[in-house]
Chains A and B, each alone.
Chain A
Amino acid sequence: MMLTLIILIPLLAGIFAFLMKSDGAKGLALASSLITLGIVIWATCASSEQPIYFSVPWIPALGTHFSLAADGMSTMLCLLTAIVMPVVIISNWNKTVEKPWSFYGFMLLSQAGLLGVFLAYDGLVFYFFWELALIPVYFLCSRWGGEKRIAVTFKFFVYTFLGSLMMLAGIIYLAAQSGGPDAYSWSSMVRAGSALPLAQQQIVFWLIFVAFAIKMPIFPFHTWQPDTYEQSPTPVTIILSALMVKMGLFAVLRWLFPVLPQGVAYWSNTVIILSIIGIVYASLLAIVQTDIKRLVAYSSIAHMGLMSAAAFSATNVGMHGIMVQMFNHGINITGMWLIVSMIENRWGTRDMTKMGGMASVAPKMAIALVIISLANIALPLTNGFVGEFMLFNGLFSGASPYHITFMVIAGLGVILGAIYTLNMVQKAAYGETVEMVITKDLTANEYLGLFIIIGIILFLGFYPKPLLDMTAGVANALVP
């Protein structure tokens, strides 16, 4: 029941926000997201010993139940979602959006979808929430985005919808294998999938993986991403890059690794190679960007590439690293986008060549930028370091014959990452002072938002144990 509540609260609050038709929607959204955070924390504590399950029949004739489950990975990602949401709302408190009731309504609906994806324990329920998270984001970007928003968002939608449909074909195929009154439950999908002969696993793997690869995104399925991030309003960009991309990786670990073990093993080198190409390619592109939003977008592709490469190396330490890094990347990228939107707000541009000297006019903001950037390039004592270290360790100890090559090339990503991130910091924070349009240091709400983010960055940088303990069970179950 508690798990249902996690999804139900943002869902109902979202619907209610639409009906309010007043600016109060913002307050409602904040209240709902805080309540959700409270329940998620409660669920996290409750599930620390033993995963929680919840199941009621939904369409019995089809063999589908409304099943939810909360294990370490699910609660970790729910926690991320539940933390990011209020931070986003708080940081944007002073900004006026057109029709706030629909804006916050859609935000809450997409939160409900995300939480549903992380908790779903039934193939069809998973698919439903997967789409439910997408549709509100489509409307958010198309309505409140930048100039080219309609075409860009449409591309994004068609891309991901196509992927989802392929995944649906895969899910139906697997469910048809087992049949019976619980054909869609996770356990029977696992049973049906792992019993398939290799030849079929190879095909079904791509049916399902395409959806996740588009969402993550992995090279060459990434082309929707930089444009969409650039054109979306910042709160939506945060939802996309901090949370929605995690859906892809989460789904790989929950719905691909256990379900099609042989297919995964067969294609793992291919996926690792694609991921590594993505890391280098995206990093190189990030270096030449002058638009900071596009720069961060490409850096996000590089980070996700590293995580997916480590995932497909299938080592225990790598899996553990992914769990930690999913959370950390979510936090860091949220911080990054918040700063980016503040910069855009202050200078009225996202062009790096037209800014500078933040440290002298807005020192607090500059400090935040530096800390978050350092976390982004995984400096020790920031949260990014722990995860990335484990990821490289995992990649290095992988079973593939090319594991060292993989690690070396992926390692280039870290160096390139330092180049573009520090370049951005240097251009924005130091150098010649360029007059700001609005000369103002952090406002109280921005300060609060960044304070939470930086607090988590430093805390987990010093003491990552709670996060590691939380997800140890899942990582060990995936790869003993």
Chain B
Amino acid sequence: MKAIIAATIFGILLMFASILMKDKKAMANLAIVFMAALFGVTIWELIITPVGSSQAYYNNMLNISYYGLLFNMLMTGCSLLYALLASKEIQKVGVHVAEYFALIFFILCGVFILSGYQNLLMLFIGIEIMSIPQYILAGSDKKNLKSSEASLKYFLMGAFSTGILLMGITLLYGATGSFNIAGLSFLQSNTIGPMAIAGILFVMMALAFKVSAAPMHMWTPDVYDGAPTPFTAYMSTIVKAAAFIAFLHLFQFSFGNVSNTWLLVLSVITALTLFIGNITAVFQQSVKRMLAYSSIAQAGFMLFAVLASNTMAAQHGMIIYAVAYSVGTIGIFSVLMKIKDNTYDGFNGLAQKEPLLAFVATIFLLSLAGIPLTGGFMAKYYVVMAAVQQGHLMWLVIFALLMAAISVYYYFRVIIAMYFKQGNAELSSPVTGGDKLMLIITAILVILLGIAPQLFLINI
């Protein structure tokens, strides 16, 4: 709760600060300081909360658990990393630097609500608080036609999915007479009616849209490609992870008893997501677009956590996946931001020119591909383990691993371009010592996640 308040206050303060401060750089630095402060708040909140306990707010509309706080803390940490890595690029997007950062704080406020909602209305509010700033951020490069297109497309599709979500919530209310998700858990597989099933499927579709799972993924490549790269990095990581935590929360706790009604649908969605994401990524010529499709593919793996029957394993898997995927993706996007030409050819010969940049990019790509000793492997491992324990999802696990082997193809194309092809990779801006330090820290985090993931699962 403290974090929600702090995020809101920091966001508002930043907006007003822009009246007094005109210097972009100072503004960005202020935002980073605020982000660090917010990180401090989340840590403090985590420390003062006993393990396993939870605290209810607003007539039990929010029920923030230790697990939710841990998620908040880690996601704020990732946001801090992101702010440090991307602040220069954010300053280049346009003139309203303060607003961009303020919007990111509002997104975080939505993230915090989603990690602790106890009521379907709060789910709706959280998703909207998180989404609306994204529509603005996607279109923040106003002079760029693609950016405006991305924003409009995202907004229209997003509004549509919001409608579906509301419809689902209404149907669930009609079936159960309650918005409280703890109250939904009395849904039993033998008594469940068509109205509740329709409600569950509607909610599932709306959330699938937010996590960009097939067949609701169509907006993803265009939006991710069109939006300014620093904001794509944020949208495809922390925001996606938050949508997943909402997904997991609802389906594990409230719909767990009736999993026979939705498990098959969701496993087909998972298989489809993995298939479409990986296969389409192979054919991309732009690295940015490839990363958009790869984020669809990664969403397929994260869906495993929702499918798992063992709540504990699913929760662990979700945390590790969210952190590993966010850190790795933020890393690779911040390398991408330094490259002038976003096609594969733009990476040719990067290893000769900027060995460090190429080296850390390799680590991030290996992590995304799920090679051992990187966070990506541990993430995949945790969610796959959770799905194996489910028992009858072995077919999906094997299918997913086949798809993971395909993913090696497109991730390694970047590595091949950087190391084994001749060329003169042009940089959009020089790589400073500070950038290098931050990239090394990010790479170390990726490796640390791969060697000792339990460090990130503090006490749970």
Contacts and interface: CB of A to CB of B under 8 A. Distances in A.
A137 to B, nearest CB: 13
A62 interface: yes
A69 to B, nearest CB: 20
Interface of B: 316, 366, 371-373, 381, 384-385, 388-389, 394, 397-398, 401-402, 404-405, 408-409, 412, 416, 419-420, 452-454, 457
A149 B371 CA distance: 21
Interface residues of A, number: 28
9 contacts: A59-B452, A59-B453, A61-B316, A131-B371, A150-B420, A169-B394, A169-B397, A172-B397, A176-B389
B420 A142 contact: yes
Contact of B371 (A60, A135, A162): A135
A158 B454 contact: no
Residue of A62, A127, A143, A149 with most chain B CB atoms under a 10 A cut-off: A62
B419 A142 contact: yes
A172 B409 contact: no
A223 to B, nearest CB: 16
B404 A165 contact: yes
A220 to B, nearest CB: 18
Given A127-B372, A158-B405, A150 B398 contact: no
Interface string A152-174: 00100110011001101100110
A169 B401 contact: yes
Contact of B384 (A61, A166, A169): A169
Interface SS, B side? helix
A60 B389 CA distance: 18
Nearest to A127: B372
B282 to A, nearest CB: 12
A266 interface: no
A430 interface: no
B402 A172 contact: no
Interface string A126-160: 01100110010001001100000110001001100
A291 to B, nearest CB: 23
A298 to B, nearest CB: 26
B371 A165 contact: no
Given A162-B405, A166-B401, A173 B372 contact: no
Contacts of B394: 169, 173
A168 B402 CA distance: 11
Contacts of B389: 176
Contacts of A168: 381, 384, 401
Contacts of B373: 128, 131-132
Contacts of A127: 372
Contact of A165 (B401, B409, B412): B401
Given A61-B457, A173-B388, A162 B416 contact: no
Given A131-B371, A157-B408, A165-B402, A150 B384 contact: no
A114 B155 CA distance: 53
Nearest to A170: B398
A173 B404 CA distance: 18
Given A61-B316, A127-B372, A176-B389, 19 more contacts: A59-B453, A61-B454, A128-B372, A132-B372, A135-B371, A143-B420, A149-B420, A150-B416, A154-B412, A157-B412, A158-B408, A161-B408, A165-B402, A165-B405, A166-B398, A168-B384, A169-B397, A169-B398, A172-B397
A150 B417 CA distance: 10
Contact of B385 (A60, A62, A139): A62
Interface in A274-310: none
B366 to A, nearest CB: 8
Contacts of A175: 385
Contacts of A207: 398
A94 to B, nearest CB: 26
B356 to A, nearest CB: 12
Top 4 closest A-B pairs, CB basis?
A162-B405, A165-B401, A131-B372, A128-B372
Interface string A28-54: 000000000000000000000000000
A397 B389 CA distance: 42
A166 B402 CA distance: 8
Nearest to A173: B388
A207 B408 CA distance: 19
Contacts of B412: 154, 157
A166 B405 CA distance: 10
B405 A172 contact: no
Contacts of A162: 402, 405
Interface string A117-129: 0000000000110
Nearest to B401: A165
B405 A161 contact: yes
A60 B455 CA distance: 11
Given A128-B372, A132-B373, A154-B416, A176 B405 contact: no
A173 B419 CA distance: 37
A149 B416 CA distance: 11
A176 B401 contact: no
Contacts of A59: 452-454
Contacts of A157: 408, 412
A154 B453 CA distance: 29
Given A132-B373, A173-B388, A139 B398 contact: no
A172 B416 contact: no
Interface string A59-95: 1111000000000000000000000000000000000
Contacts of B457: 61
Nearest to B421: A150
Contacts of B453: 59
Given A166-B398, A168-B401, A176 B388 contact: yes
A254 to B, nearest CB: 19
Contacts of B372: 127-128, 131-132
A135 B372 CA distance: 10
Nearest to B457: A61
Contacts of A176: 385, 388-389
A154 B419 CA distance: 13
A246 B457 CA distance: 38
B409 A158 contact: yes
Contacts of B420: 142-143, 149-150
Interface in A351-367: none
